[in-house]
Amino acid sequence: MVATVAAALMAGVPVAGAEPENGSGVKAEREQGSQMRAAAVPAIPSEYVPVSPVRVLDTRIGGTPVGPGRSVTVDLTARTPAAATSVVLNVTGVSPTLSTFVTVYPAGEARPNASNLNLAARNTRANSVVVALSADRRVTLYNHSGNTHLVADLAGYYTEGTANRYTTMNPRRVLDTRPGTPLGPRGTGVLNVSSFVPAGATAVTFNMTGVGATASTFLTAYPNGQTRPTASNINLAPGEVIPNQVTVPIGTNRSIVLYNHAGNTDVIIDLVGYYSPGGAYKFIAISPERAWDSRQDDGLRPSYFVGLTGWGETTDPVALHAIAGNVTGVNATAPGFVTVWPGGQPRPNASTLNVVPNQVVANAVTVGIGYESDPGIQDRAVNFANNAGYVDVVFDVAGFFVVLN
């Protein structure tokens, strides 16, 4: 089984070549012979166990930041069972002395050509990370430049055996406080998800965006009915627009709580999927792999989308149905946002990544793989679109949601 799964994942990794087609799309071409490097991580189909967020790393406690070209390794054996294969972390970089990036990967492996978190000097920013565990259930966090403190909060883990499977959705906007009242200082809002996911759902995955904060603050999402954890999902400076993907258990009354620490801020929630015992897909973690870098091709302009193709067929021994990864925006010429959604689906009223000029920004993404029937594509694809100006996109893959045929 492991050999079959590994072969399926290694085949058909796409490289996009972007050419405008009638101002509406691009033709995506797969580089012949392109393959994902063999990963040391065993290809084990796993199911998800959500947890109320718990802090597993905070370098501020010891007072020593992570230096340039240095790393810190987190032992998760006390927080995960022996059968755990990967974890979901919210990783925050705090006040780096230089612009830098952070890469999270299985301990003991060579550091991959991928990144999870991009930080400007003196900036505090968070990003959700799905990362495979090493055989001894550890992960490594690498800092590229300067000194920075790192904080990591565990949101859940994947494990062999029976737990919760994932069901992907075309992104759907389920909350936008901007027409009404923002969250005030130390204020909370309750989002009932019962009309969006089935009764058996145990956790939801969504893109949460903080907009127009009036003071430096942080946002935390957690299950309704539970004590607010010592954890955060988004860190905001005044006036910023910052997204982060969040996976959180569903609490009492089928609801989650959104907490704002200081000032007033608007919040947008775009639902992308849910977990349940009867869900559709298991998860296979891989060593982080760069699947697309538009700086080598042609980036995104607002007049067309890129369909990234080559994700296999549904009749393969292991059918890929969704991707967990990281999307990074580089070289933006105007403030705007990037939307990522399944091929073959209409472009949703949702956003994945908010970009601004002169900043490199990243966000986690979980997105379905669909059949794109655009005349220039006609393949199983993931779509990317930009609403304003020009931006380059970097897409790193951390794993796949699969059905074993």
Do residues 173 and 350 touch, judged by C-beta distance below 8 A?
Answer: yes
252 CB contacts (<8 Å, ≥6 apart)? Answer: 223, 224, 225
Q: Does position 1 have pLDDT exceeding 50, yes or no?
A: no
Q: Does position 371 have pLDDT exceeding 60, yes or no?
A: yes
3-state secondary structure of 44: coil
Q: Does position 14 have pLDDT exceeding 60, yes or no?
A: no
CA distance 177 to 331: 30
Mean pLDDT of the chain: 88
What is the arithmetic mean of pLDDT over 108-117? 94
Model pLDDT, residue 63: 85
Burial group, residue 23, by CB count within 10 angstroms (0-12, 13-18, 19+): exposed
Q: Identify any residues that bridge with 236 across adjacent strands, giving them in sequence order.
A: 217
Model pLDDT, residue 34: 32
User: Tokens representing 141?
Assistant: 């966090």
CA distance 32 to 24: 25
| pLDDT tens-digit series, residues 356-369 | 998 999 999 999 99
387 CB contacts (<8 Å, ≥6 apart)? Answer: 302, 336, 337, 338, 339
Q: Does position 12 have pLDDT exceeding 50, yes or no?
A: no
- CB atoms < 10 A from the CB of 254, how many? 17
Do residues 352 and 327 touch, judged by C-beta distance below 8 A?
Answer: yes
Q: Does position 302 have pLDDT exceeding 90, yes or no?
A: no
Model pLDDT, residue 59: 97
In order of 10, 38, 44, 297, the CA distances from 3 in angstroms are 11, 11, 10, 33
User: Tokens representing 307?
Assistant: 């369909």
| pLDDT tens-digit series, residues 202-237 | 999 999 999 999 999 999 999 999 999 988 999 999
% of the chain at pLDDT higher than 70: 89
114-118, 119-123, 138-142, 296-300: the lowest-pLDDT one: 296-300
pLDDT level of residue 23 (50, 70, 90 thresholds): very low
More confident residue, 310 or 7: 310
| pLDDT tens-digit series, residues 159-190 | 998 899 999 999 999 999 998 899 999 999 99
User: Tokens representing 281?
Assistant: 């897909």
What distance lies between CA 167 and its chain's CA centroid? Answer: 15
Model pLDDT, residue 405: 65
pLDDT level of residue 43 (50, 70, 90 thresholds): confident
Residue with tokens 């200081």: 262
User: Tokens representing 107?
Assistant: 């301990």
Q: Identify any residues that bridge with 66 across adjacent strands, giving them in sequence order.
A: 148
Q: Does position 376 have pLDDT exceeding 50, yes or no?
A: yes
